């Protein structure tokens, strides 16, 4: 009995000892865990290891707490890429541009100047020679009436002076051609505000003359003169016309009023463009119209409607007729019909560098009684030049 009790006591003592030892181990581990420092956050100095980061903006996301993990995580929202600002072109000044483009005119009109000088500088000018002079001038589209005037003047000079010296003849030819081109005509383009409204320019012409391109180039000419310009895309029959015009304007920071509908009423678009120009207080509104065949009465009537609708809110200060200089006498027929429909005030001759028929300048001015105001001398964006009579004549005879 005593032996059994002894064994019981020993067993209890062993169990108690084991329990006590286990408890001491657990307490020691707990103290060890409490002394462990949290892992350092990348980029923070040592003194900030135990410091909570300040509360951030609304993009702070709380993370579940875990031993050794930071209490909060800062999430940076990605920054959207910024589109680069479009670079606007600054066109060169149009002043004196025709002087700079004289070489192109000289190349294209060399048959007039060189041919005439070769004929007139002969030692003897008989009737056959004078007939050749007439033929050369008529073939340049100068027109019969203007040709007779020029030949009569040259005949008189040669007879009175009794010389055919080339330098002298060149001087006579320059004087007479310049007189035919009429340098005293007013070639200014309406481009300044009139009272409390912008100047309004209506651009007309047949298909294929480069009319929409001319409108875009004209906008560049006016921007170069520090004018605020607004374009109206009233050519609603050609699908790409409005896009083309808008592209031209965007290159120099000029807005375009257009319709989102196919085959929209061109008169309505023109009306909206002028209205917008008045509200935005621009200097000039340029209206592009659909290319029209001069022998189609219905189309010409519609052009007249565009003019009448615009005039309900503003006068039209300028009507520019765009002609292809290479069409010659056929272009003269166009001028007459267009002038009856919309009172043309000025001519734009395109492709003048591509023809040897520079006499069309004289012929078209006589046909309409209005000046050539602009000439196209190439396909570049700044190849539209204000017409300069002296530079034009010099390019022919010099």
pLDDT at residue 18 is higher than 80: no
Regarding whether 204 and 129 lie in a shared domain, the answer is no
What is the Cα–Cα distance from 13 to 9, expressed in whole angstroms?
6
For residue 274, the model assigns a pLDDT of: 97
**Cα→Cα distances 385→5, 14, 382, 392, Å:** 129, 116, 8, 11
Beta strand spans in 75-153 (E): none
Q: Is 297 left (phi over 0), alpha (psi -120 to 50) or beta?
A: alpha
Instruction: Work out the angle at residue 308's Cα, subtended by the Cα atoms of residues 219 and 366, and round it to the nearest 5 degrees.
Output: 65
Q: Which residues, in sequence order, are CB contacts of 91 under 8 Å at separation 6+?
A: 220, 221, 223, 224, 252, 381, 382
Span 71-98, mean pLDDT? 63
Q: What percent of the chain has pLDDT over 90?
A: 35
209 annotated ligand binder: yes
Q: What is the domain-level CATH number for residue 326?
A: 3.40.50.300
Question: What's the pTM?
Answer: 0.75
Domain membership flag for residue 117:
yes
247 annotated ligand binder: no
16 annotated ligand binder: no
Q: At what angle do helices 127-139 and 144-161 cross, to 10 degrees?
A: 140
206 annotated ligand binder: yes
34 HSE (CA, 13 A, CB side): 6
Regarding whether 355 and 224 lie in a shared domain, the answer is yes
Q: Domain of residue 152: give its range.
A: 97-181
355 annotated ligand binder: no
Q: How far is CA 10 from the centre of its chain?
A: 108
Lowest mean pLDDT among 21-30, 158-167, 222-231, 356-365: 21-30
Asked if 292 contacts 332 with a C-beta cutoff of 8 angstroms, the reply is no
Regarding whether 127 and 224 lie in a shared domain, the answer is no
What is the Cα–Cα distance from 324 to 348, expressed in whole angstroms?
8
Domain count, the chain: 2
Q: What is the domain-level CATH number for residue 108?
A: 1.20.120.140
pLDDT at residue 325 is higher than 60: yes
Regarding whether 231 and 124 lie in a shared domain, the answer is no
Domain boundary among 152, 181, 210: 181
Q: Is 232 helix (H, G, I), strand (E, B) or coil?
A: strand
pLDDT at residue 8 is higher than 90: no
For residue 367, the model assigns a pLDDT of: 85
pLDDT in tens, 158-212: 888 888 787 888 888 889 999 999 999 999 999 999 999 999 999 998 877 889 9
56 annotated ligand binder: no
Q: Which residues, in sequence order, are CB contacts of 223 under 8 Å at separation 6+?
A: 91, 229, 252, 253, 254
Which two structure tokens, joined as six digits, stand for 217?
Answer: 């180039």
pLDDT in tens, 224-262: 999 999 999 998 888 789 999 999 999 999 999 999 887
Q: How far is CA 346 from the centre of its chain?
A: 22
Q: At what angle do helices 329-342 and 360-368 cross, to 10 degrees?
A: 30
288 annotated ligand binder: yes
* 73: enclosing H helix or E strand: strand 72-74
Indicate the burial class of 225 (C-beta count within 10 angstroms; 0-12, 13-18, 19 or more). Answer: middle
Q: Is 290 helix (H, G, I), strand (E, B) or coil?
A: coil
pLDDT in tens, 35-63: 334 444 343 333 333 333 444 444 444 44
291 annotated ligand binder: yes
Regarding whether 113 and 258 lie in a shared domain, the answer is no
Domain membership flag for residue 398:
no
Regarding whether 284 and 205 lie in a shared domain, the answer is yes
Task: Render the burial of 156-186: b for 16+ CB within 10 Å, e for the rest.
Answer: ebbeeeeebeeeebbebbbebbbbbbeeeee
Say if strands 60-62 and 72-74 run parallel, antiparallel, or are unpaired.
antiparallel
Regarding whether 269 and 146 lie in a shared domain, the answer is no
Regarding whether 212 and 147 lie in a shared domain, the answer is no
For residue 33, the model assigns a pLDDT of: 34
Domain membership flag for residue 48:
no
274 annotated ligand binder: no
Q: 225 phi and psi, to 5 degrees? A: -100, 20
Q: At what angle do helices 266-280 and 297-310 cross, to 10 degrees?
A: 20
What is the Cα–Cα distance from 284 to 274, expressed in whole angstroms?
9
351 annotated ligand binder: yes
Domain boundary among 146, 181, 216: 181
pLDDT at residue 29 is higher than 70: no
Average pLDDT, the chain: 78
Domain boundary among 120, 146, 181: 181
Regarding whether 214 and 166 lie in a shared domain, the answer is no
Instruction: Provide the 10 A C-beta neighbour count for residue 253.
Output: 14
25 annotated ligand binder: no
292 annotated ligand binder: yes
pLDDT at residue 125 is higher than 50: yes
Q: Is 113 helix (H, G, I), strand (E, B) or coil?
A: helix
What is the Cα–Cα distance from 211 to 205, expressed in whole angstroms?
7
68 annotated ligand binder: no
For residue 327, the model assigns a pLDDT of: 79
Measuring CA to CA, which residue among 245, 253, 239, 237 is closest to residue 210? Answer: 245
């Amino acid at each position: 009995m005593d032996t059994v009790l002894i064994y019981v006591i020993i067993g209890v003592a062993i169990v108690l000892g084991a329990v006590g030892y286990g408890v001491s181990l657990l307490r020691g581990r707990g103290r060890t865990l409490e002394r462990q420092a949290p892992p350092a956050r990348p980029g923070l100095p040592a003194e900030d290891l135990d410091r909570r980061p300040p509360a951030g903006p609304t993009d702070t996301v709380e993370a579940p707490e875990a031993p050794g993990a930071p209490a909060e995580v800062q999430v940076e929202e990605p920054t959207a890429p910024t589109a680069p600002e479009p670079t606007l072109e600054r066109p060169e000044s149009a002043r004196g541009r025709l002087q700079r483009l004289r070489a192109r005119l000289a190349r294209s009109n060399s048959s007039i100047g060189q041919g005439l000088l070769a004929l007139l500088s002969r030692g003897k000018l008989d009737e056959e020679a004078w007939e050749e002079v007439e033929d050369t001038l008529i073939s340049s589209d100068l027109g019969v009436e203007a040709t007779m005037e020029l030949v009569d003047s040259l005949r008189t000079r040669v007879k009175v002076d009794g010389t055919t010296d080339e330098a002298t003849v060149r001087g006579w030819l320059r004087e007479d051609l310049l007189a035919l081109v009429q340098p005293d005509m007013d070639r200014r383009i309406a481009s300044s505000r009139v009272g409390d409204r912008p100047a309004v320019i209506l651009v007309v012409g047949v298909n294929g003359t480069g009319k929409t391109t001319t409108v875009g180039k004209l906008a560049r000419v006016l921007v170069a003169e520090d004018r605020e310009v607004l374009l109206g895309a009233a050519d609603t029959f050609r699908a790409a016309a409005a896009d083309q015009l808008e592209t031209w304007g965007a290159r120099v920071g000029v807005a375009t009023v257009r319709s989102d509908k196919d085959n929209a009423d061109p008169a309505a678009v023109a009306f909206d463009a002028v209205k917008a120009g008045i509200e935005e207080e621009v200097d000039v509104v340029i209206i592009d119209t659909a290319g029209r065949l001069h022998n189609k009465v219905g189309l010409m009537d519609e052009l007249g409607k565009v003019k009448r609708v615009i005039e309900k809110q503003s006068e039209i200060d300028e009507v520019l007729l765009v002609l292809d200089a290479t069409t010659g006498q056929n272009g003269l027929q166009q001028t007459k019909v267009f002038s009856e429909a919309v009172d043309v005030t000025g001519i734009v001759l395109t492709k003048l560098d591509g023809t040897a028929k520079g006499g069309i300048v004289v012929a078209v001015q006589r046909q309409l009684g209005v000046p050539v105001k602009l000439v196209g001398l190439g396909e570049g964006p700044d190849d539209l030049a204000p017409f300069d009579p002296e530079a034009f004549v010099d390019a022919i005879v010099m």
